[in-house]
Amino acid sequence: MLPSRPCSYLSGRDGGPLRVLGLDHGWFGISAADATGAQELFFIAWACLFLFLVIPCLKLSLVYPLAVALVFVAVSLAAIGAFTASASVFTAAGAVALAFAFLAFYAWVNVALVAMGEKAIPLPVSE
Q: Using one digit for the tens of pLDDT, what is the confidence trace for 35-61? A: 778 778 888 888 999 999 989 988 888
Q: Give this prediction's pTM.
A: 0.71
The residues near 90 (Cβ < 8 Å, ≥ 6 apart) are 8, 11, 13, 77, 78, 81
**Per-residue pLDDT band at 64 (split at 50, 70, 90):** confident
Contact 36, 49 (CB under 8 A): no
Task: Note down the domain range covering 56.
Answer: 35-127
Q: Which of 61, 75, 66, 68 is nearest to 111 (CA)?
A: 61
- 45 lies in the same domain as 106: yes
- 2 lies in the same domain as 54: no
- 85 lies in the same domain as 125: yes
Whole-Å CA distances, 46 to 9, 15, 106: 21, 22, 23
For residue 96, is pLDDT > 80? yes
Total domains present in the chain: 2
**Per-residue pLDDT band at 19 (split at 50, 70, 90):** low
